[in-house]
Amino acid sequence: MDDPVNARSDLKMAMNGVPPGTATILLAHSPGIFEEAVKAKIDMVFVGHTHGGQWWGVNGLAKFLPLESGLEYGEGFFQKGPTLMYVNRGIGTSFLPFRIGVKPEVTFFNFSGRETNRSDGGTISNSTSRVFFSGFSFSDLLDTFNVFPIVLYKAFHIDLNDLSNKIDQPDKTNLTGQEGGPNRSKTIFDFERPEELQKLNWECHKWMELTRKGTTSGKSALKVSLPPGQYPGLTFEKIPSDWSGARYFKMDVTNPEAQAVKFNLRIDDNRSGREYADRFDKTFILKPGLNSLVIPTADIRTNLYPRPLNLKKIDRFLVFIPSNPARRDLYIDHIRLE
């Protein structure tokens, strides 16, 4: 089922054609569906959405404060009558890019097929948890809690695995067409390796993957599926901060739809903050097919009281579709400075 938080769920439609007495398992995004599932006598409900509260104590506050409906079911098992629900903590984050006191989880359910009495919801037995540890470094810790800029990280952290993504093999010509000149093309993202996906912000309802479709450079491009909403988009993180040696910012975007799409690009420097006046925004109209977007770096100025952004301290850039009416796919490739 679709997300009940955005009122796009329809349990009646999902149950259409299910014979009475059939064992039922419901997959839904949010525990906000629980009461409706109980009335429909669903046997088992699997949901997520809450991230376990993401901060320790949030689930308790949901009992006393008017927080989002469904947060009272923060994580784990819940049962009403014969209906059993499991709320998974997941591995992602929302709004703030870290967790406090809420471990990520991936949960496996093994259905044994043994006969049980459906009136009591069956029998649940818990197996031993397993922890998969992929390594740890000081920079990982700083990344986890990097809510505000951490000067030590920005000054001294160099990831050798990231280096080839930030500075790709230069073109043989510079901006003037002369061979061997100093201003060579610098690739920011080219989406040739799965590791690049880790530099993009992930949120609920959004999907990203590498694909051959829409490729303009190398062997693959980024496919991003954006949900309907006011500003669904994608933030590009861990980018080269010094853009001062380039005259143009360029990227290739393929629109697979038959109609044009409004597409916004935003760039922030070290002074941008949250205010509209202190950042750069530009709107493009994506025609069907391939669109090569070009922004002269000299035109990268704040929206109001125009000041040039500090091209030596670019902090991030993001793209989004304003007032997106329906789920939409885009293919992005070869983001670069020239």
Instruction: Evaluate whether 210 touches 220 at the Cβ level (below 8 Å).
Output: yes
How far apart are alpha carbons 158 and 153 in whole angstroms?
A: 9
User: Quick check: pTM over 0.85?
Assistant: no
The pLDDT assigned to 292 comes to 95
Instruction: Evaluate whether 277 touches 266 at the Cβ level (below 8 Å).
Output: no
Instruction: Evaluate whether 200 touches 194 at the Cβ level (below 8 Å).
Output: no
Instruction: Evaluate whether 195 touches 211 at the Cβ level (below 8 Å).
Output: no
Phi first, then psi, for residue 245 (nearest 5°) are: -90, 5
How far apart are alpha carbons 303 and 308 in whole angstroms?
A: 10
Enter the tokens of residue 98: 């870290």
- CA distances in angstroms from 177 to 13, 82, 144, listed in the order given: 61, 73, 43
Enumerate the β-bridge partners of residue 100.
55
How far apart are alpha carbons 9 and 28 in whole angstroms?
A: 8
The pLDDT assigned to 336 comes to 95
Nearest to 140 by CA among 169, 123, 124, 161: 161
Instruction: Evaluate whether 92 touches 51 at the Cβ level (below 8 Å).
Output: yes
Element (H, E) at 298: none
Domains (range + CATH), the chain: 4-120 (no CATH), 159-337 (2.60.120.430)
How far apart are alpha carbons 319 and 332 in whole angstroms?
A: 10
Instruction: Evaluate whether 70 touches 78 at the Cβ level (below 8 Å).
Output: no
Going by DSSP bridges, is the β-strand pair 25-27/44-47 parallel, antiparallel, or unpaired?
parallel
Residue pLDDT tens, the chain, 338 long: 776 666 667 888 889 889 888 889 999 988 888 889 999 989 889 998 888 777 776 656 655 555 555 567 878 888 888 888 889 888 877 777 777 777 788 888 877 665 544 444 445 555 556 655 545 555 555 545 544 333 322 222 323 333 223 323 333 323 333 333 334 579 999 999 888 888 887 766 778 899 999 999 999 999 999 999 888 899 887 889 999 989 999 999 999 999 999 999 999 999 887 778 889 999 999 999 999 999 999 999 998 878 899 999 999 899 999 999 999 999 999 999 99
Could you write out the DSSP letters of every residue in 207-260?
A: EEEEESTT-SSSS-EEEEEE-SBSS-EEEE-S--S--TT-SEEEEEEEE-SSS-
Element (H, E) at 166: helix 160-166
Going by DSSP bridges, is the β-strand pair 233-236/314-320 parallel, antiparallel, or unpaired?
antiparallel
Please state the length of the chain. 338
